[in-house]
Structure 1
Amino acid sequence: MTASDQGSGHYGWSPDAVTATVGPGGIVTGWSEGARRLLGYRAAEVVGHAAAELLATRESSETAGLALIDSQEWSGTAALLHRDGHRVDVTLHAHPSLDGDGKPQGFVVTATSDTAGSGPDRKMMEWAFAQASIALSTYATGSRAWQLNAVASGSEPARKGAPRTSPYPDLLDGGHTDEGFLRRVRRVAEEARPMRYEHLTPAPPDARGHAWIIEMWPVRDPSTGQVCGVGTATFDSSEQHRARQRLALLNEAGTRIGTTLNVTRTAQELADLAVPRLADFVSVDLLDSVTRGEEPVPGPVDATVMLRRVAHQSRAAGVPEASVGLGKIDAYPAFSPPARCLATGRPVLSGTDDPDFGRWVALDEARSSSVRTHGFHSLMAVPLQARGITLGVAVFTRSTTSAPFAQDDLILAEELAGRAAVGVDNARRYTRERTNALTLQRSLLPRELPEQTAVEVAYRYLPAGSGAGVGGDWFDVVPLSGTRVALVVGDVVGHGIQACATMGRLRTAVRTLADVDLPPDELLTHLDDLVTHLSSDKDDAAPNEPYAVTGEIGATCLYAVYDPVARVCTLASAGHVPPVLVLPDGTVSVVRLNPGPLLGVGGLPFEATELELPEGSLLAFCTDGLIEARDHDIGLGLDRLCAVLASPVPSLEVTCDAVLESLLPESPDDDVALLLARTRALHTDQVAAWALPSDPAIVADARAQAARQLAVWGLEEAAFVTELVVSELVTNAIRYGSVPIGLRLIRDRTLICEVSDASSTAPHLRRARTYDEGGRGLHMVARLTQGWGTRQTSRGKTIWAEQLLPVS
């Protein structure tokens, strides 16, 4: 179909005429398509028949017959008979058809239906169509011609700056014909039902685009009921369209702004959303205290203000318009639009017609160059305020390719900034709480692991990277008597400062109980009692007490003690993830434990498990944040951990990095604690042991045995103190203990003397009175050694004393 076929250049009426030709004898000799539509007869049914047969009344027949006989021009009304039998009132015009000699050879008869009203009424309809204040048009399906009124055709004199009145010049303008519009017109004609078409006119520079709603309906021939055309009425819906766009933008802001608890990301989401749908360039500057999570001063900000650029966005790639780099601080004088909006707490609409805008731009060469280069002419500065606190300012600007901001744009920008401010404030508060929690957590976790001989250790701790907040995971390495070491890992249920505080209390309790040298199962029993008491204390707290937390405290814990002399590791678990064991031959397995309930549940005992480990075995302790995720459970996570540990690596530090890289996402959802321990062993050249009978006479022999062993080790300088300690401890074991009695010396970082017996009664240090014969022995041991203590064993007790090695 060509443009002319589409009617793009023809705006006049071209309907089919209602005409017929009648011979001198009153016989119909010609029949037009318009006549067929009016009366329903086809040409074959009428041509050759008397014209009088078409008249509905005798009066009409006689009047028309006299005119035809006289061969005179005649006009008048007549009632014609439709093919289906109903009456059609028409106005007839008979015009004689003359031959070359001027003699009449027939008549040309035209008819005008009176159904549209009388002549004056029809004229009024035509005038109404032509003079309507909205764009009206008709499309004839037969001739494909358009009839447009003055508004639709754009022929009315246009005032300078006046809005457009019609989209038809775009829809029907030569080669730019809108095929979508014409297809909709044809569908209305074919389907004979009203439709609606929406058209958007592209916005020219320095102006706004237009939106139009075109209502379309089928036009039927009253006599035949057939669709002969399409009528249209066009309405300017630009305001409604812009209102829908603003509403859609606000709706989208609810899902796109504040998706994370990150100040910078939230500000960037505002800039990304506003460009290019509201502005050509957007910048977001915040008070420096906000970026650090601190509490800003309530209320507006006066005088010159220092702001940090945290986000900006532009239509152009690379944001070339920015005169301040991300993360940089810039000073805004009091008269500048951003500072004015911060001082008043209200948005400011400014531009090139504002003297203060020019003064502000001229102060900075980079900003002045950007304004000139990109043609910025309109600006909105909107404060970011939430909960009565001013956080910063968002600046929206438009260049020469866009129209200046209007008042409705300012309202929209204020709405967007308000939503972004809430997100920024939430992120700021989260940042502050997270910083406090991290500070507390770092202060409660070990900064450096203590030196000890039993195991080689490496560890990693990662706080949660999501909005869940800092958790209560912890780990520890505690040196014990007899060169043994305790390896601890635990996890407090929940996140935040309360979880950190609870973690600190539990870690302190574990270290205190470890100093008492309790077996792992007994230690967890005491720790369980402590958690139960902590839960009771929280239940008793007043609801309005600051930071009051009600409800039970839940925590898991795994406590292991490794003895490098016996090469035995004893473990007990309170609902914690089991460790993974890697033997020196490369065999990897998950340690089978009998875990007890979570700490604080109570009622069930904890069971200890003993493992005899070859030297060089690797134990991997972790919290569930390392092996559990949304897409897999703990079992699969343990399998993945075993697979990573099965690969040979040069060191424990490298192993830690490999585990985290293989098992964790970029931002873990939970805290992660990982503790790796490779076992060592003390050999016979470092340990000497003797079994002693329960005979006081053996004390002297025990002293001699100890002195000879010290000589072998080259520690003769320690012999005097060691003999005194051996004499006192062995004497006490013989006097108050039970057989078997044993003496053991261990040369490690210190010199350790241990005496064991089968009695569970532990000695107590006391100050002897003036005339007491006993009670001075342990006091003397405590004064001569670096430390002493008692630990319970499965066969009784062991009393130990530790002294520094002589300086060589």
Structure 2
Amino acid sequence: MDKDRRQADIGPAEGAELSRSPRGGLLDVLGVAAIVLDADGRIVFWNPQAEALTGYSAGEALGRYAAQLLVADEHVDLVLRLFAEVMGGEGSWAGTFPVRHKDGRTRLLEFRNMRLEDDLGDLYALGLATDQAVLRRVERDLALSVRLVDQSPIGLAVMDTELRYVMVNPALERINGLPADEHLGRRVGQVLPFLDADSIESAMRQVMVTGTPLLDQETVACGPADPDTEHAWSVSFYRLEDPGGKVLGVATSVVDVTDRYRAGKDADRARHRLAVVADASVRIGTTLDLEQTARELADVAVPELADLAAVDILDSALAGHRTPVSASGPAVFKALAVAAAYPTDAAAAADPPGEVARYDADRLVTRCVNTSRLVMVPHVDEDDLSHIARDPRAAALLAQAGVHSYLAVPLIARGEVLGALDLVRARNPLAFTDDDATLAGELAARAAVCIDNARWYQQQRDTALTLQRSLLPQPPPHLFGLEVASRYQPASAAVEVGGDWYDILPLSGDRTALVVGDVMGSGINAATTMGRLRTATQTLAGLDLAPAEVLRNLDRITASLAPYIATCTYALYDPHHAQCHISTAGHLPPVRMRPGHPPELLDLPTGAPLGVGGVPFRTTAVDLDPGDQILLYTDGLVETRDEDIDARLNVLLALLDGPHRSLEYTCDHLLAALRHPGGHDDVALLIARVRR
């Protein structure tokens, strides 16, 4: 029978795959020797592996008694007895036996002995043997591998070339929440439908094609073993090959890194929270304006924390009354700011800035300020809305806007509750969490100090402004030969009130003294010094002193009020002589306007500011005809931080040029044109027109 015929006769069944096994497999590692003995114990078959184990070639072994060739004398009787048992049909024998090597050494071999019978009824003994040390090493390696796979906390799986599970270890069973038999023969998408199976299988195919492992691919999902909790796994893929390089499939390792993932998220949240707080530190409290500070807080909170934010201050705190800790009963708030991330009906439900509203004790914002503790409702229902909103209409607007989560944080500074920061979510689908509450609390704590500073500054500024306004003159009675208009405008809310003043003093002989002055500095002390100088000016004016003499005495008085100095212009108009006698102390020059002539700055001796001491003052006489006007003003009208004073004075003259208008209009026109929003200085303005 030729070779092809023999292969056909012994070939596999139809449809089976016949393949050559590569060298280096397990049988090659073991080097199994096959020895066949006849019924008399002579060697009749001897394979090359037997030669490798014993050192005897087939020519040296065949036909010889195995006991004489391979067994030491002291073991011959035992071998013969075991041989008789096997040949007698008492079963196979397995064990370790010392075999004599050709070179005289004794070698321990692991044997498996069994009886064979041919078609003629003749009996033979088959002995399969391998080196005991090699076998034990393979057994240890195999046991270790099995133990490692079974006891490993890492999930391990083997996928075949069709990406079907062929092996999973107990750790992967626990991770996936499914027993091994529900994995085997199935693909990833069938076993774990919640994962992106297409991406995973694409990665496996890439590894099978390239042979390059794909390591530490993080996957996040809610697994079947714990469907309510998000877990993270680190997945790696390795190509599996046999010793000949044939691809067998892909090995997969899965490590549960949920703790690391959560720690990373916590760290990210902490870094983000620090960044938001740092940003808030820059954006909140840029001025000492109470409303502006509240707006800055609301703008930081939206959309970072909420879709809508409102800042409300207790009316009692604005009035300077300390709010008791653990108060009870209703609360009265003044709304300072509202900010929305997008146009929403919820904004209409909030109290408009500047409006005062009373909230009963059952309202959540009232509970927040009364208990000095935050109030959080992660999932808002209809009943909650009725305790959030000020009235049923506002509750309906909140419901219409889709508000589903609420958080109120008290604004506490220096142990006093000032108000509350109200936050709601509507379009943002996430409910408020403890992390959100922590961040909102940090923002509120920082903002509360800024709001408290602005509140106390506002109260002090209002006090100074009230004092200053009380010191300014009331509208004067009828003046002989003069028509007069005046204005006083304080600095912006972010700047302390200054010491600017003006005065209109009717004197004997139908004369009128016009005074404008500016005490350097700001605050209550500057306003008080201004009041003293104004009183002194009124007293000195009543003594019929010349303007220079008035300023000389004011200089002496101001020096006694150190460290303050002041500038001043004193003008004395005499209608009977149609003259105005003017003296200045470090002040900007008055403007004279005459019909048919452009406005002009009067060229007067400037003089030194009041309080310098020892500097003479001079009086200049200026003729004024009917229709002429004279303008006195403080530097707050024209000075700015970034423009030259001469350029600003030219702008003032240009505004005064043209047809004469009413004095009231002129005052308003100058303030509107020259004063910048948020001006940093006060302005006192006085304009007089000569009448026939």
The two structures have a TM-score, normalised by structure 1, of: 0.55
Does residue 417 of the first structure (1) align with residue 444 of the second (2)? yes
Where 1:505 maps in the other structure, the secondary structure is helix
Does residue 394 of the first structure (1) align with residue 414 of the second (2)? no
Counterpart contact for 1:278–1:409, Cα < 8 Å: yes
Match of 1:628 in 2: 639
Following superposition, the deviation at residue 512 of structure 1 comes to 1.0
For 1:386 and 1:570, locate their aligned partners in 2 and report how far apart those are by CA, in whole Å.
Answer: 56
CA deviation string 1:712-750 (max 9, x = no partner): xxxxxxxxxxxxxxxxxxxxxxxxxxxxxxxxxxxxxxx
Where 2:525 maps in the other structure, the secondary structure is helix
Following superposition, the deviation at residue 525 of structure 1 comes to 0.6
For 2:371 and 2:557, locate their aligned partners in 1 and report how far apart those are by CA, in whole Å.
Answer: 55
> What amino acid is aligned across from residue 635 of structure 1 in structure 2?
D
Where 1:448 maps in the other structure, the secondary structure is coil
CA deviation string 1:695-725 (max 9, x = no partner): xxxxxxxxxxxxxxxxxxxxxxxxxxxxxxx
CA deviation string 1:94-136 (max 9, x = no partner): xxxxxxxxxxxxxxxxxxxxxxxx88889999999x9648x99
Match of 1:606 in 2: 617
Match of 2:686 in 1: 675
For 2:416 and 2:176, locate their aligned partners in 1 and report how far apart those are by CA, in whole Å.
Answer: 55
Q: Tell me which of 491, 496, 513 is aligned to 1:469.
A: 496
> What amino acid is aligned across from residue 587 of structure 2 in structure 1?
H
Match of 1:782 in 2: none
Match of 2:520 in 1: 493
Alpha-carbon spacing, 1:612–1:304, altered in 2? closer, same or farther (3 Å) = closer
Q: Tell me which of 287, 302, 314 is aligned to 1:275.
A: 302
Counterpart contact for 2:378–2:432, Cα < 8 Å: no
Alpha-carbon spacing, 1:321–1:565, altered in 2? closer, same or farther (3 Å) = closer
CA deviation string 1:40-94 (max 9, x = no partner): xxxxxxxxxxxxxxxxxxxxxxx9xxxxxxxxxxxxxxxxxxxxxxxxxxxxxxx
RMSD: 4.9
For 1:253 and 1:664, locate their aligned partners in 2 and report how far apart those are by CA, in whole Å.
Answer: 31
Where 1:534 maps in the other structure, the secondary structure is coil
> What amino acid is aligned across from residue 595 of structure 2 in structure 1?
P
For 1:450 and 1:641, locate their aligned partners in 2 and report how far apart those are by CA, in whole Å.
Answer: 29
Does residue 317 of the first structure (1) align with residue 328 of the second (2)? no
> What amino acid is aligned across from residue 522 of structure 1 in structure 2?
E
Does residue 618 of the first structure (1) align with residue 638 of the second (2)? no
Match of 1:266 in 2: 293
> What amino acid is aligned across from residue 666 of structure 2 in structure 1?
T
Following superposition, the deviation at residue 397 of structure 1 comes to 2.7
Following superposition, the deviation at residue 652 of structure 1 comes to 2.1
Q: Tell me which of 456, 467, 486 is aligned to 1:440.
A: 467
Match of 1:156 in 2: 176
Alpha-carbon spacing, 1:484–1:403, altered in 2? closer, same or farther (3 Å) = same
For 1:311 and 1:156, locate their aligned partners in 2 and report how far apart those are by CA, in whole Å.
Answer: 51
CA deviation string 1:431-461 (max 9, x = no partner): 2122222221121111203321233222221
Match of 1:756 in 2: none
Following superposition, the deviation at residue 175 of structure 1 comes to 9.6
Following superposition, the deviation at residue 662 of structure 1 comes to 2.0
Stretches of structure 2 that go unaligned for 5 or more consecutive residues are: 1-20, 24-51, 53-140, 158-168, 179-191, 203-211, 222-226, 240-252
Match of 2:582 in 1: 571
Alpha-carbon spacing, 1:300–1:260, altered in 2? closer, same or farther (3 Å) = farther
Does residue 256 of the first structure (1) align with residue 292 of the second (2)? no
Following superposition, the deviation at residue 462 of structure 1 comes to 0.7
Q: Tell me which of 657, 676, 686 is aligned to 2:668.
A: 657
Following superposition, the deviation at residue 375 of structure 1 comes to 4.2
> Pairwise mapping of residues 351-430 of structure 1 onto structure 2 (< 5 A)?
351-352=378-379, 357=384, 360=387, 364-399=391-426, 401-430=428-457
Counterpart contact for 1:256–1:269, Cα < 8 Å: yes
Counterpart contact for 2:506–2:513, Cα < 8 Å: yes
Alpha-carbon spacing, 1:328–1:565, altered in 2? closer, same or farther (3 Å) = closer
- Once the two structures are overlaid, the 10-residue window that deviates more, 494-503 or 335-344, is 335-344
Following superposition, the deviation at residue 531 of structure 1 comes to 1.2
CA deviation string 1:353-397 (max 9, x = no partner): 899847736994224424543444433222222222222222223
Following superposition, the deviation at residue 260 of structure 1 comes to 2.8
Stretches of structure 1 that go unaligned for 5 or more consecutive residues are: 1-18, 22-62, 64-117, 137-148, 159-167, 179-188, 202-206, 220-230, 536-551, 682-808
For 1:310 and 1:665, locate their aligned partners in 2 and report how far apart those are by CA, in whole Å.
Answer: 24
CA deviation string 1:516-561 (max 9, x = no partner): 11011111111111112233xxxxxxxxxxxxxxxx1111111111
> What amino acid is aligned across from residue 679 of structure 2 in structure 1?
P
Counterpart contact for 2:219–2:235, Cα < 8 Å: no
Counterpart contact for 2:310–2:350, Cα < 8 Å: no
> Pairwise mapping of residues 57-72 of structure 1 onto structure 2 (< 5 A)?
none
Alpha-carbon spacing, 1:367–1:680, altered in 2? closer, same or farther (3 Å) = closer
Match of 2:565 in 1: 554
For 1:532 and 1:209, locate their aligned partners in 2 and report how far apart those are by CA, in whole Å.
Answer: 77
Match of 2:553 in 1: 526
Following superposition, the deviation at residue 615 of structure 1 comes to 3.5
Counterpart contact for 1:258–1:423, Cα < 8 Å: yes
Alpha-carbon spacing, 1:322–1:654, altered in 2? closer, same or farther (3 Å) = closer
> What amino acid is aligned across from residue 408 of structure 2 in structure 1?
A
> What amino acid is aligned across from residue 283 of structure 1 in structure 2?
A
CA deviation string 1:469-518 (max 9, x = no partner): 21111111222233222111100111122111111111111111111110
For 1:465 and 1:177, locate their aligned partners in 2 and report how far apart those are by CA, in whole Å.
Answer: 68
Match of 2:333 in 1: 307
Following superposition, the deviation at residue 243 of structure 1 comes to 1.3
Where 1:494 maps in the other structure, the secondary structure is strand
Where 1:436 maps in the other structure, the secondary structure is helix
> Pairwise mapping of residues 86-125 of structure 1 onto structure 2 (< 5 A)?
none
Where 1:383 maps in the other structure, the secondary structure is strand
Match of 1:666 in 2: 677
Counterpart contact for 1:352–1:358, Cα < 8 Å: no
Alpha-carbon spacing, 1:358–1:489, altered in 2? closer, same or farther (3 Å) = closer
Match of 2:363 in 1: 336
> What amino acid is aligned across from residue 176 of structure 2 in structure 1?
E
Alpha-carbon spacing, 1:241–1:614, altered in 2? closer, same or farther (3 Å) = same
CA deviation string 1:597-654 (max 9, x = no partner): 2111102111222223343322221101011111113222212111211233422222
Following superposition, the deviation at residue 269 of structure 1 comes to 2.2
Match of 2:246 in 1: none
> What amino acid is aligned across from residue 581 of structure 1 in structure 2?
R
Where 1:656 maps in the other structure, the secondary structure is helix
> What amino acid is aligned across from residue 569 of structure 1 in structure 2?
C
> What amino acid is aligned across from residue 641 of structure 1 in structure 2?
L
Where 2:294 maps in the other structure, the secondary structure is helix
For 1:507 and 1:376, locate their aligned partners in 2 and report how far apart those are by CA, in whole Å.
Answer: 59
Where 2:491 maps in the other structure, the secondary structure is coil
Counterpart contact for 1:379–1:405, Cα < 8 Å: yes
For 1:401 and 1:643, locate their aligned partners in 2 and report how far apart those are by CA, in whole Å.
Answer: 55
For 2:657 and 2:537, locate their aligned partners in 1 and report how far apart those are by CA, in whole Å.
Answer: 31
Counterpart contact for 1:287–1:391, Cα < 8 Å: yes
The two structures have a TM-score, normalised by structure 2, of: 0.63
Following superposition, the deviation at residue 318 of structure 1 comes to 4.4
Alpha-carbon spacing, 1:157–1:610, altered in 2? closer, same or farther (3 Å) = farther
> What amino acid is aligned across from residue 314 of structure 1 in structure 2?
A
